[in-house]
């Protein structure tokens, strides 16, 4: 009965024992539509739901771009344009990137990577997921009443005077997904801290898990502040309070502080897990140990800490006093340092590696290019002297689409391709993957690069009607967005076809070293049919970790040796 004699590819032959293991041997398709506490089911539920909302919000963007192809508002009613504008941002952030990256990949991968059977609180995990469909219903109701129209930031006084009912349901939506995010973050922290298998040292924790630690800390400490800002806004709209009504002694800038205290860290919520994904993909497909493991791990924590004190850089034009501008500008520029540490580490990992240019790595390299570009425009915007001119122009729109689309969404695509064999048990189609990457890369740059020029020339964001001089560049953006719209087709075909009829995937198609690749594809219900073994560090590619023939020399002995050679 030793585990070494086991046939590796066969599932456990025994029926599940009674007691607290109350589950069938294998999940059927309908289990994915029901309340389920398995972290892998929840991860897939998050990913699929989020992807549905991504398609909806993407369609909104296509309609907006169609409207912006000409200077006059001719395709959409201006109010509808405002609704689309608000909800495109809201859904892309709160229904796609955050749930897909944190809820989807976080849930699916963290327990597998640390060798656990499930999350620390499986029920809480399921509850956190099911809050998302409820939020989806809320935002549906908001649409029914015309939708929120005050932008995803919903600054008062605008949010107090436009479509109160739609705005109120929009607030309920955000509070619901915020609660989900807090419950998820709590679960990740306890899971990583308590359920990591004892063999795994902290400096052998996969970098994705380190990124999830930083992400969870941020979500825990910033989300409640957004919730309170939105609750106050809700009271102002519906119960006649005066928090953001200057005539009653209130102050609209207080809302901006409460909002950005969450919503700036939210950009790190959306990129930190992606940074984690990057470290996994880059190292696995360049067949090299990750460069600067500790630097990458700790820089996530540094981004998390510094990221909490930079929020006022969104408010340089809100009458912010000079000392505050200076402080927050410096803090903002400091964030570039840990981010740069990561970027250089990935480049150094790629450098001289045995590169396997598969779709996940293509997206990772694409991310590197796009994110650095978006990061640099971010540095310019962090400088008040420049920000005062570029604020609320298309320059800002271009900037954050480079980091959010070129960064987060590219990372999500890369992650989907990378873990597709593990999640579904089938290989994806490489050719379709490459076509998808090519179209996405071209489409992204064509859509968002001209926006920088538009912004510098003075085109304001959030408008359906603009000056005719901007028409040519806007046309270019619209063509780009159409390519992006088309680029989703090879992806969808690839996913659906490969999931159903793709070539079966072995346990470890990438020959990767993190623990999730030690189990079957897809993993058994409690993850590991036999206990995983940490026989190498997560990134020890090309290192013989099993033989210890060479004796280890201390630094002094090495110096002595070198000294003898010199003589």
Site residues, other proteins (CB under 8 A): 1, 3, 6, 12-14, 17-21, 120-121, 124, 182, 185-187, 189-190, 193-194, 220-225, 227-229, 231-232, 235, 239-243, 245, 248-251, 254, 257-258, 261, 529-531
- Residue 161 or 248: the one with the smaller Cβ distance to other proteins is 248
- Least spacing, CB of residue 131 vs other proteins, in Å: 15
- Least spacing, CB of residue 4 vs other proteins, in Å: 11
Distance CA 473, CA 513 (A): 47
- Residue 186 or 493: the one with the smaller Cβ distance to other proteins is 186
- Residue 3 or 546: the one with the smaller Cβ distance to other proteins is 3
In 126-178 the beta strands, taken as DSSP E runs, fall at: none
* Torsion angle of the four alpha carbons 322, 324, 327, 330, in this order, in degrees rounded to the nearest 10: -70
Peptide bond into 277 cis (omega under 30): no
Three-class DSSP category at 460? strand
- Residue 18 or 546: the one with the smaller Cβ distance to other proteins is 18
- Least spacing, CB of residue 55 vs other proteins, in Å: 32
Distance CA 16, CA 80 (A): 54
The DSSP letter of residue 426 is B
- Least spacing, CB of residue 526 vs other proteins, in Å: 9
Q: Distance from first CA to last CA of the chain, Å, rounded?
A: 60
- Least spacing, CB of residue 215 vs other proteins, in Å: 14
Q: Are 58 and 125 spatial neighbours (Cβ–Cβ below 8 Å)?
A: no
Q: Which residues contact 220 (CB under 8 A, 6 or more apart)?
A: 182, 185, 186, 189
Distance CA 184, CA 126 (A): 9
Q: How far is CA 453 from the centre of its chain?
A: 27
- Residue 259 or 417: the one with the smaller Cβ distance to other proteins is 259
- Least spacing, CB of residue 320 vs other proteins, in Å: 13
- Residue 64 or 306: the one with the smaller Cβ distance to other proteins is 306
- Residue 190 or 534: the one with the smaller Cβ distance to other proteins is 190
- Residue 22 or 546: the one with the smaller Cβ distance to other proteins is 22
Q: Are 414 and 360 spatial neighbours (Cβ–Cβ below 8 Å)?
A: yes
- Least spacing, CB of residue 396 vs other proteins, in Å: 26
- Residue 216 or 498: the one with the smaller Cβ distance to other proteins is 216
Q: Output the six-digit token pair for 339.
A: 């981010």
- Least spacing, CB of residue 239 vs other proteins, in Å: 5
- Least spacing, CB of residue 128 vs other proteins, in Å: 12
Distance CA 471, CA 121 (A): 53
- Least spacing, CB of residue 221 vs other proteins, in Å: 6
Q: Are 118 and 290 spatial neighbours (Cβ–Cβ below 8 Å)?
A: no
Distance CA 71, CA 77 (A): 14
- Least spacing, CB of residue 147 vs other proteins, in Å: 26
- Residue 175 or 412: the one with the smaller Cβ distance to other proteins is 175
- Residue 59 or 248: the one with the smaller Cβ distance to other proteins is 248
Distance CA 287, CA 361 (A): 12
Q: Are 262 and 223 spatial neighbours (Cβ–Cβ below 8 Å)?
A: yes
- Residue 11 or 542: the one with the smaller Cβ distance to other proteins is 11
Rg (CA), the chain: 25
Distance CA 286, CA 355 (A): 4
- Least spacing, CB of residue 438 vs other proteins, in Å: 43
Overall size of the chain counted in residues: 567
Closest by CA to 484, choosing from 45, 52, 57, is: 57
- Phi, psi angle pair for 10, to nearest 5°: -90, 145
- Least spacing, CB of residue 183 vs other proteins, in Å: 8
Distance CA 254, CA 392 (A): 19
Closest by CA to 92, choosing from 400, 373, 498, is: 400
The DSSP letter of residue 202 is G
Closest by CA to 427, choosing from 535, 508, 514, is: 508
The DSSP letter of residue 204 is G
The DSSP letter of residue 32 is G
- Residue 387 or 529: the one with the smaller Cβ distance to other proteins is 529
């Amino acid at each position: 009965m030793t585990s070494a004699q086991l046939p590796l590819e066969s599932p456990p032959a025994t029926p599940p024992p009674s007691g607290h293991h109350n589950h069938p041997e294998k999940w059927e398709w309908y289990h994915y539509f029901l309340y389920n506490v398995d972290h892998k089911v929840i991860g897939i539920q998050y990913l699929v739901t989020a992807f549905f909302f991504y398609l909806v919000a993407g369609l909104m963007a296509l309609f907006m771009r169609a409207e912006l192809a000409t200077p006059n508002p001719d395709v959409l009613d201006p109010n509808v344009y405002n609704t689309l504008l608000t909800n495109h941002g809201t859904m892309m952030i709160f229904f796609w990137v955050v749930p897909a990256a944190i809820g989807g990949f976080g849930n699916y991968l963290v327990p597998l990577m640390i060798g656990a059977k499930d999350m620390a609180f499986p029920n809480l995990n399921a509850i956190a997921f099911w809050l998302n469909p409820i939020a989806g219903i809320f935002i549906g109701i908001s649409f029914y009443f015309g939708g929120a129209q005050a932008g995803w930031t919903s600054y008062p006084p605008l949010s107090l005077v436009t479509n109160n009912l739609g705005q109120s349901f929009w607030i309920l939506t955000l509070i619901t997904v915020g609660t989900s995010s807090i419950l998820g973050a709590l679960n990740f922290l306890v899971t990583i801290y308590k359920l990591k298998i004892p063999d795994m040292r902290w400096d052998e924790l996969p970098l994705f898990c380190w990124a999830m630690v930083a992400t969870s800390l941020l979500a825990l400490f910033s989300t409640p502040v957004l919730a309170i800002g939105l609750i106050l806004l809700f009271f102002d709209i519906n119960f006649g309070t005066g928090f953001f009504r200057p005539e009653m002694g209130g102050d609209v800038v207080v809302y901006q502080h409460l909002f950005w205290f969450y919503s700036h860290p939210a950009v790190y919520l959306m990129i930190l897990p992606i940074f984690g994904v990057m470290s996994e993909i880059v190292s696995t497909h360049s067949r090299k140990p990750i460069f600067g493991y500790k630097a990458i791990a700790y820089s996530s924590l540094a981004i998390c800490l510094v990221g909490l004190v930079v929020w006022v850089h969104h408010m340089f034009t809100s009458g912010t006093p000079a000392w505050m501008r200076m402080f927050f500008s410096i803090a903002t520029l400091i964030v570039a340092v840990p981010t740069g540490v990561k970027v250089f580490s990935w480049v150094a990992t790629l450098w001289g590696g045995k590169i396997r240019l598969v779709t996940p790595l293509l997206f990772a390299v694409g991310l590197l290019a796009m994110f650095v570009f978006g990061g640099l425009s971010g540095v310019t915007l962090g400088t008040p002297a420049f920000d005062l001119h570029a604020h609320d122009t298309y320059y800002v729109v271009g900037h954050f689409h480079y980091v959010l689309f070129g960064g987060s969404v590219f990372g999500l695509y890369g992650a989907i391709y990378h873990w597709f064999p593990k999640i579904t048990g089938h290989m994806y189609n490489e050719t379709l993957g490459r076509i998808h990457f090519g179209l996405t890369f071209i489409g992204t740059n064509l859509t968002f690069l001209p926006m920088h020029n538009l912004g510098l020339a003075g085109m304001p964001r959030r408008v359906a009607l603009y000056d005719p001089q901007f028409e040519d560049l806007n046309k270019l953006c619209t063509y780009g967005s159409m390519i992006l719209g088309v680029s989703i087709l090879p992806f969808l075909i690839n996913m659906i076809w490969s999931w159903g009829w793709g070539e079966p995937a072995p346990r470890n198609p990438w020959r990767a070293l993190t623990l999730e690749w030690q189990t079957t594809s897809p993993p058994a219900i409690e993850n590991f049919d036999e206990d995983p073994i940490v026989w190498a560090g997560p990134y020890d590619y090309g290192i013989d970790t099993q033989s210890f023939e060479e004796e280890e020399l201390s630094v002094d002995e090495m110096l002595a040796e070198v000294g003898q050679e010199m003589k």
